[in-house]
Every structure is written in C-alpha cells, then in structure tokens.
Amino acid sequence: MSTSLLSREGARRRGPSLDVIVVGGGMVGSATALALARAGFATALAEARAPSAWSARDEVDLRVVGLAPSSIALLDDLGVWTSIRDSRAGPYTHMHVWDAENGSAIDFDAASEGRDLLGYIVENNLVQWRLWEALESAGVQRLCPVEVTGFDIGDDRIHLNFANGESVASRLLVAADGAASPLRQWAGIATSGRDYAQRGVVAHVRTERPHDYTAWQRFVSTGPLAFLPLADGRSSIVWSLPEAEAQRVLALDDAGFMTELGVASDFRLGQITATTRRAAFPLKLQLAETYQSERMVLLGDAAHAVHPLAGQGVNLGLRDVEELRATLLDAREHGRDIAASHVLRRYARRRRSADNLDAWSFDALARIYAWQSPPMVAARGVGVRLLNKLAPVKRLFSDHAAGR
C-alpha cells in the first residue's frame, strides 16, 4: 500500500477513533505504541522511515544498549524479549569500574546481589526491529513513511498534520521523536543542560583475553572508556573524547587505533586484536523544562538526553513508557479523559523528577571523574574505595540502575 493511501485510509477509517498517536518509531516510540495498544488503547504510530530488517547474517550494529532488568521485564511483558534474547544478546553478570589516576575501583556482581545477571548488551536495531514487527499484530496503525509538519489542538482532539496535506486525529499525542524533537519545539517547550564538547567513539573489537561477561569501564583524563560484552565474544567500546581528540582517533588506521585503545584500557583484556569501522556521536545533557503540553506528552530522548557513562539513556525512556501506560490505564479506569491536563501532569511530574535526578547524578559523576588536581584525585580514590566496601550502599546503586 502506498504511503498516501495508508495515510488517507488511516485518517478516514481510524483517525477519529484513535486514543493515541505516537510520533517516532525508535525503540522508545515503538515500545510506547505497543504497550498502549496491548493495554487496549486505539493507537497509531507515525514514522518517517521504517527500520531496516534485522538479520543474524548482518554485522553487529555499532549502536548498542545496555538493557537493565526493568527494561527486560517491560519487553518481556510486551512479548518481544524472548525473540530478542534468542537472536543476539550478550548477558553480563559483573561490572568493574576503575580510575586511571588513583587505581581505585568498584565492582558490581550479580551473584553477590542474588541475581542471575546485571543486564544484556543488545543492538539498537535488533530491539527496534522486534518491536516494529510486533506493532501490526497488536493492532497499531503504522503510518510510514510520513513527514509530520505540525499539529492543531481542538476541544477534545489533537490533529497531527502531514506534508501530503492529510491529518490524523487522536485524543493524545506522544512525542518520541528524538533529542531534536520538532514536536517539542512546536509546542514551545524549552530545554536546559550542557554540551560536553565531547564525542563518544564506538566500535566493536576483539581482544586477547575474553570479556568474562563483564562490563569494563575505565575513567581516564579525557573521559570514560567502556568495554561492553557482546554475544559473539567481542566487546563494544564507547570511548568518550574531546571533539578534536575524537576526530584524530577516528582518522587513525586500524593498527593505530587498536594500539591507542589498548593503552587507554591499560590492556585490561590484553592486546586489541581486531576492530570494526568506527563512528562517533556528540555527548550532551538536555532536559525538557516540562514533559507535557496541551494533549501532548514527551518521552525518551525528546524529554531527556543524558551522558552515556552510566548506560541508562534507553532504560530511562522505557521507564517513561511504563509510567505513561500506568497513568493512562488509571485515568481510563476512573472514567477520565486520558489527555486531560491533570492526568498528564501526574505522568510529567513523576518522570521529570526521576529523570532529572538521574541525569544530574550522571553529570555529577562525569564532573567528579574529570577532576585532575592531586588532592581531588586522592579524595575521589578514598571515596570510591569506601563505597566499594559498603555493600548496602552499593546495593542501592545497583537496585536503582536495575529499575527497582
């Protein structure tokens, strides 16, 4: 069916009866549409480009996510986790974080906390594809490809407008259209935060020693360097570097890159023996001043973009999904308009409060590890060593990261 026919048919047949339309077919947007459809809400999803079909024959996507137990539970509830896990997902049971400046380290271990694992490292496009596949059978109307040009608010509806002149009406509009969210901008919602003037360089590497199902993270003077365990035995690296240094590292040949990466990691996993191509993405902290507007809410990167050092960005977005679903179900149960301001305010306050706490905590951690003066480095080491000995406090950190 052509794009035009899909949109026209949707506007005529489903538009007036829609409860929710989600804009953005990434992991968080697709999970939102799937969760709300399975909860009985008439849902549509608008996306500019359908995701590429995932195949086990393809090279592992350079973009990976560390899924926390809370995210895994949500994906399982949505009926997609088993297929994701069985396709290509790398479990990790241990995390080791150490400081290049003072040698202090902290460890998190699943077994000591009574868990089977801490999480899974999974390709972004695998998660996105499995969610996208599940939308149709759940009754989600997929409007794709479409170009969203704006929206108009009525008394009890919001109308989403497309470049082809057509529109779709729903009771609620969900903006999951990324960190540069046009919907957020059209709604006049400002953002705050800061640009780290850094890039995260990513690649998949093979190492002399196995990763032992461990997520390794070393803090060096230029920023954190993470080795995340992949299902095929390699590690996915995320190397945070100042802009100029990132460009220099990207321009290295494979041999030069592997040598410098080995030095930066203190050869914790031995020599780097093979690498894929490299890519990089800008690092910034960005928080929406509010998560709601009239008949509209924000979630995922449209609401918050955080430093990747804690690997929590997508997990925060999936917690937004859980909160929105619970909020809308409660409103429906009590006979309320699911897009009423007081209903959306509950979601917005809870998630913005939680997301802001996490985002600024990650930012504070990045700032602390950026300290380079000897007294501050020494103080940081004392604090980390003390924390590593305080099992109850470590458990609180681990539980929060797990979404408990």
Query: Rounded mean pLDDT of the chain?
Result: 88
d(CA 301, CA 312): 12
191 or 104, which is more confident?
Answer: 191
Domain count, the chain: 1
Does 120 reside within a domain?
no
Q: Check whether 228 has a pLDDT greater than 90.
A: yes
Does 334 reside within a domain?
yes
253 or 375, which is more confident?
Answer: 253
Length of the chain: 404
For residues 54-71, average pLDDT: 93
Burial 234-244, CB ≥16 within 10 A → b, else e = bbbbbbbbeee
Per-residue pLDDT reduced to its tens digit, 329-346: 999 999 999 999 999 999
Does 359 reside within a domain?
yes
d(CA 370, CA 350): 31
Q: Is the pTM of this model over 0.85?
A: yes
Helix (H) or strand (E) holding 323: helix 313-333
Phi first, then psi: what are they for 338, rounded to 5°? Answer: -65, -15
d(CA 293, CA 146): 23
Give every CB contact of residue 31 below 8 A, 6+ residues apart in sequence. Answer: 74, 75, 78, 131, 318, 321
Per-residue confidence (pLDDT) for residue 123, from 0 to 100: 95
Per-residue confidence (pLDDT) for residue 5, from 0 to 100: 29
For residues 287-311, average pLDDT: 90
Tokens standing for 61?
């996507």
Does 344 reside within a domain?
yes
370 or 398, which is more confident?
Answer: 370
331 DSSP assignment: H
Per-residue confidence (pLDDT) for residue 107, from 0 to 100: 86
Per-residue pLDDT reduced to its tens digit, 20-53: 999 999 999 999 999 999 999 999 999 999 999 9
What is the residue range of 358's domain?
3-56+127-192+285-366
Per-residue confidence (pLDDT) for residue 370, from 0 to 100: 66
Phi first, then psi: what are they for 8, rounded to 5°? Answer: -65, -45
Does 381 reside within a domain?
no
Does 239 reside within a domain?
no
Q: Check whether 215 has a pLDDT greater than 60.
A: yes
CATH of the domain at 20: 3.50.50.60
For residues 98-120, average pLDDT: 84
Query: Lowest-confidence range among 68-77, 126-135, 137-146, 304-313?
Result: 304-313
What single-letter amino acid sits at 32? Answer: T
Q: Check whether 400 has a pLDDT greater than 70.
A: no
Does 307 reside within a domain?
yes
Does 198 reside within a domain?
no
- Kindly tell me the number of DSSP H helices and DSSP E strands found in the chain: 12, 21
pLDDT band at 367 (very low <50, low <70, confident <90, very high): low
pLDDT band at 6 (very low <50, low <70, confident <90, very high): very low
Residue carrying the six token digits 């939102």? 32
pLDDT band at 379 (very low <50, low <70, confident <90, very high): low
> Percent of the chain scored above 70 by pLDDT?
85
